[in-house]
Amino acid sequence: MEYVPVIGLEVHAQLQTESKIFCGCSTRFGQAPNVNTCPVCLGMPGVLPVLNKRVVDYTLMMGLATHCRIAAESVFARKNYFYPDLPKGYQISQYERPICEKGWVEIPVEGERRKIRITRIHMEEDAGKLVHEGRGGAASLVDLNRAGVPLMEIVSEPDIRSPEEARAYMQTLRDIVVYLGICDGNMEEGSLRCDANISVMPAGSEIFGTRTEIKNMNSFRYLSQALEYEIQRQTEVLEDGGRIIQETRLFDSAKGVTVSMRGKEEAHDYRYFPEPDLVPIRIDPEWLDRIRAGIPELRNEKITRYAQDLGLPEYDAEVLTAEPGTARFFEDILAHGVEPKKASNWVMGEYARLLKDKGTEAASISPEQVAEVIRMVDASTVSVSGAKQVFEEVFLTGKDPGAIVREKGLAQVSDEGAIEEEIRAILEANPQQVQQYRDGQEKVLGYFIGQVMKATKGRANPRLVNEILRKMLKGR
């Protein structure tokens, strides 16, 4: 019997606000423990939360970008449980009346676009971190820098039908939050987190099987691996006549398996109730309009535009838009009147290579300067290889391309007369090779070109050299 997986993903995105969600503490990552704290996020007696409006702005952007229905009035709720990284003994989250509901995104699946529905999006505060010390966890240290950092939780309907789709969905969500500028989308650092609910059912069935929850998948690769493994595991259990136990399982990345947390977990009753210390948020149409006006062109829109309007291949469009910074850079080059495919080649080629080798901080080349380099190639002012040299120099120093051409003497010799002179000299000096060529050995041409380039220190226009060489060889 063939089994089909049914997957729903719960994604948490850390929002890139300056301050935490309910107090003014900094959200900056990587500080000494408990430096970014105040009485409010420490959960001291007598403190009260005050909502950071930017958190709502960012969540509204996400809701609009994913076609959600935005609540006219939304409330916060307390999720009650005890753990040392949760200072108040409850997390302020949302339960009934979340801010966004019933949206969707489209994901690419085998050349087609499939709609994955979003059940809800809501806001909540993050908990702190525990650092376990000593053998066998002799002591635990509590770092509350992260307590109160704003999170956006996105829950999908169980519409996902394969690990590939799950990955595409995660990638799509990541693209949206990164393009909106609300989250840096880093799964390895934990600013984008993902838990999965997964079950399998016989192909053609409409009744979902018992699901398990999978946690601790902190990269796209681990997400695929974990889901593959779990599908396999559940299928085998059912084929052996067993039943799936509803439980939470952790992904063990070292072994590539999911492990049951049974025995450590009891069913949590979070005793949700509306947060009495916060008033309901009212979202009026004017607020939504302002948010809507501020939403930039998203990745999938750019890909479509690049392909349809700019005539770029889909591959180019996808590479150029993988990060919004690259896309912006590319578009800024176009603004200086460069052909899209040429700009694309340079960005995907030399620019990408240098970014990787030298690092993003080293990049000092402006879009205008890239456009100038391209123009110089078009005008045959430099050869392509000369242009690459110029490009790298501008990248590292930010100096004017024209100045670099002059300084390094990279100006291409395109004076036909001068080239003829050089070629004549070389042909005269190499009568044997001339004869070889005329006898049919085409390869000798390469030798002559090499000689010309050497004589001109690489500055002769290769196209012209080739043309004139052939002409002169044929001619005499």
| Interacting residues with other proteins (CB under 8 A) | 39, 42-51, 78, 80, 82, 84, 87-90, 140, 142, 269, 271-273, 276-279
Query: Of the two residues 49 and 163, which places its CB atom closer to other proteins in the complex?
Result: 49
Provide, rounded to whole angstroms, the least separation between the CB of residue 137 and other proteins. 9
Query: Of the two residues 87 and 209, which places its CB atom closer to other proteins in the complex?
Result: 87
CB-based burial of residue 381 (10 Å sphere; 0-12 exposed, 13-18 middle, 19+ buried)? buried
Residue type, 418: A
Cα distances (angstroms) measured from residue 52 to each of 21, 57, 148, 150, 196: 5, 9, 11, 9, 29
Provide, rounded to whole angstroms, the least separation between the CB of residue 274 and other proteins. 8
The stretches of 106-246 forming alpha helices (DSSP H) are 163-180, 220-239
Q: Is the dihedral of CA 21, 22, 24, 30 positive or negative?
A: negative
Q: How many CB atoms lie within 10 A of CB 378?
A: 11
* Helix pair angle (431-438, 416-429), 10° resolution: 100
d(CA 380, CA 176) in angstroms, rounded, equals: 41
Query: Of the two residues 87 and 163, which places its CB atom closer to other proteins in the complex?
Result: 87
Tokens, residue 289: 């309009």
Provide, rounded to whole angstroms, the least separation between the CB of residue 355 and other proteins. 45
Provide, rounded to whole angstroms, the least separation between the CB of residue 133 and other proteins. 14
Provide, rounded to whole angstroms, the least separation between the CB of residue 44 and other proteins. 7
Q: How many residues does the chain have?
A: 476
Provide, rounded to whole angstroms, the least separation between the CB of residue 81 and other proteins. 8
Query: Of the two residues 85 and 252, which places its CB atom closer to other proteins in the complex?
Result: 85
Provide, rounded to whole angstroms, the least separation between the CB of residue 46 and other proteins. 5
Provide, rounded to whole angstroms, the least separation between the CB of residue 71 and other proteins. 18
d(CA 217, CA 221) in angstroms, rounded, equals: 8
Query: Of the two residues 88 and 174, which places its CB atom closer to other proteins in the complex?
Result: 88
Query: Of the two residues 271 and 408, which places its CB atom closer to other proteins in the complex?
Result: 271
Provide, rounded to whole angstroms, the least separation between the CB of residue 276 and other proteins. 4
**391, 350 in Cβ contact below 8 A?**
yes
d(CA 274, CA 95) in angstroms, rounded, equals: 8
d(CA 468, CA 284) in angstroms, rounded, equals: 72
Query: Of the two residues 90 and 330, which places its CB atom closer to other proteins in the complex?
Result: 90
Q: How many CB atoms lie within 10 A of CB 129?
A: 15
Query: Of the two residues 282 and 424, which places its CB atom closer to other proteins in the complex?
Result: 282
Give the per-residue SS3 of 35-80: CCCCCCCCCCCCCCCCCCHHHHHHHHHHHHHCCCEECCEECCEEEE
Phi, psi for residue 187 in degrees, rounded to 5? -70, -35
259 beta partners? 250
Query: Of the two residues 95 and 220, which places its CB atom closer to other proteins in the complex?
Result: 95
Provide, rounded to whole angstroms, the least separation between the CB of residue 235 and other proteins. 32
Query: Of the two residues 278 and 472, which places its CB atom closer to other proteins in the complex?
Result: 278
Query: Of the two residues 87 and 340, which places its CB atom closer to other proteins in the complex?
Result: 87
Q: How many CB atoms lie within 10 A of CB 207?
A: 6
Ramachandran assignment for 91, one of left (phi > 0), alpha (psi -120 to 50 degrees), beta (any other):
beta
d(CA 447, CA 40) in angstroms, rounded, equals: 77
Provide, rounded to whole angstroms, the least separation between the CB of residue 96 and other proteins. 11
